[in-house]
Amino acid sequence: MKILILLWAVNLAPPLLAYVFGETWHTPLDRGRLFIDQKPLFGSHKTERGIVGGIVTGVLMGGLLGFPLWIGFLSGMFSMLGDLLSSFLKRRLGKPSGNLVPGLDQIFEGLFPFVVLGPNYSLPGMYIFFEVIVFSIGTLAGSCFLNRTLLTKPFRNYSRPLSPRTRFREWRACQTIKNPLHPFLNFEQTLYYHIFMKTVFRLLGLYEKGMHNALQVEQCNLIFYFEDLPCNFHNYKILFLSDLHLDGLDGITEKTQEIVKDLPVDLCILGGDYRTKVYGSFAKTILRLNRVTRKIDAKDGIFAVLGNHDCLEMVPIMEKRGINFLINDSTVIERNGESIWLAGVDEPHHYQAHDLEETFRNIPSKAFKIFIAHTPELYHETVQYAPQLYLCGHTHAGQIQFPLIGPIFTNSKTPRRFTLGKWEYKGVVGYTSKGTSVSGIPVRFGCRGEVVHITLKKGTPPLE
């Protein structure tokens, strides 16, 4: 068993390093050289980083498992030599770099280390045969997961650059089939929020009060003045809803419906985080969101961005229900020959899938721009694109605030002044919503959820 663990660790090292470091130190071992058959020697997937990482892992893991360091070093080296031989043979067979070939990908990598392990531990031939077979089965399963899940687009219209790190996060979050591993893969939500924090609030006798507070959603009316707002958009009204988390608290859907049903709006913007959990089915979320949006009468439509709790798989379903998504994209809204632009980015906090250059690509530099992101964390990057208004959420205003102190946690990598309410940064005016619902634990203290009703006005604000 120790030998298997050692060899699996060596095999795992190159893809794990690729996951962690991406393109850093990603130099192909063959430096792009061709063999005499004019085919690559090893291919671009065999890197100096991966080979060195495999050998170092052999030394470190071998030491942890009780093997002499030289055994770990030679086991790692011979395993990597076997891996290179497999790649060399695959290139001769015309298989592209990164292509999975069951058997050929595993046999030499598992067999070659026994040049050292066999004689030193007097291993019989049948034992070695059994070890190589078990190693190959385990490695093949891992390779299938890597190639078919982390290195393959999940669907045809996948809009993000393919990245193993992003795909792993999506794999954790976007499996709609119930998975017994979900509680373990999402340790923070399961243990910290649903077990520890709920228990603490119940023991304090505050849980029911906190849930009651969470349902006391308020309508927040805001007026923003802009001297460069086109005249035909004076008194333009926007409904901004962020962090709805509609499946996490019974009654929040009805409360939201009650507020939005009679609001006169020209445009509705949804700021992301439509579901509560970061894994599992989103069917209930879609049904409840549909009930809310049916109550919204927005002349210029409903536009949305994704939050860190959301999945790309939700987008086509929600678009069929009349919601237009801006995923590193922009759109123009016109009134009698004048226009304003909406620019929305893909989720920037957890998936870090935002692309500001692509988002603003088609927008004229002098246009009036409303920028939408799930979180305020892009406040400094966005300045160069000069949007007049930046709308965001994510922080829930801490969800629990203390007198004289304010929120303890905002889950945002920004200075605190950007995590709640109105703010301004180098000419960009922003607003960070408290969110409508709750996340993690369904309680609020010291701050209420909100539905934000914005009126744009041309001119300067009156003196107070």
Q: What is the pLDDT of residues 331-356, one digit of tens each?
A: 999 999 999 999 999 999 999 999 99
CATH number of 196-458: 3.60.21.10
Q: How high is the pLDDT of residue 55?
A: 94
Strand 369-372, strand 338-344: pairing: parallel
Task: Write phi, then psi, for 215 (nearest 5 degrees).
Answer: -90, -5
DSSP structure class, residue 446:
S
Residues 408, 416: Cα–Cα separation, whole Å: 10
CA distance 4 to 102: 18
Bridge-based pairing of strands 338-344 and 329-335 is antiparallel
Determine the pLDDT at residue 181.
55
Which residues, listed in sequence order, are joined to residue 432 by a DSSP beta bridge?
392, 421
Beta strand segments in 243-346, E: 267-270, 302-304, 323-325, 329-335, 338-344
**For residues 306 and 270, what is the distance between their CA atoms, to the nearest angstrom?**
9
Whether the Cβ atoms of residue 446 and residue 213 lie closer than 8 Å to each other: no
Q: In which residue are the tokens 């309410």 written?
A: 421
Q: Residue 41 corresponds to which amino acid?
A: L
Quote the pLDDT of residue 343.
Answer: 97
CB burial class (10 A; 0-12, 13-18, 19+) of residue 156?
exposed
**Of 459, 446, 45, 461, residue with least CA distance to 209:** 446
Give bridge partners of residue 225 from the DSSP assignment: 457
Query: What is the dihedral sign for C-alpha 208, 209, 213, 214?
Result: negative
Closest among 209, 244, 189, 276 to 445, alpha carbons compared: 209
CA atoms within 13 A on the CB side of 12: 13
- Ordered by start, the domain boundaries in the chain are 2-152, 196-458
- For the four alpha carbons of 298, 300, 306 and 307, in that order, the dihedral sign comes to negative
| Distance separating alpha carbons of residues 282 and 182, to the nearest angstrom | 14
Choose among 368, 388, 330: nearest CA to 231. Answer: 368
Low-confidence ranges of the chain (pLDDT < 70): 175-196, 464
Which residue, 372, 303, 308, 384, is CA-closest to 344?
372
Gap between the Cα atoms of 61 and 66, Å rounded = 9
CB distance 388 to 368 below 8 Å: yes
Q: What is the pLDDT of residue 280?
A: 78
- pTM reported for the whole predicted model: 0.80
Q: In whole angstroms, what separates CA 293 from the centre of its chain? A: 25
Q: Which two tokens stand for residue 448?
A: 């209420």
CB burial of 92-128 (b: ≥16 within 10 Å; e: otherwise) equals: eeebeeeeeeeebbbbbbbbbbbebbbeeeeeeeeeb
* Cβ-proximal residues to 412 (8 Å cutoff; 6+ apart), any chain: 349, 375, 376, 377, 394, 395, 418, 419
> Which of helix, strand or coil describes residue 39?
coil
Residues paired with 453 in a beta bridge = 221, 239
- Beta strand 267-270 with 236-241 is parallel
Q: In the block, which residue shows the tokens 């004048």? A: 338
Q: Name the burial class of residue 386, with classes exposed (0-12), middle (13-18) and buried (19+) by CB atoms within 10 angstroms of its CB.
A: middle
pLDDT of residue 179: 54
pLDDT at site 369: 98
Q: What is the C-alpha separation between 2 and 148, in angstroms, rounded?
A: 28
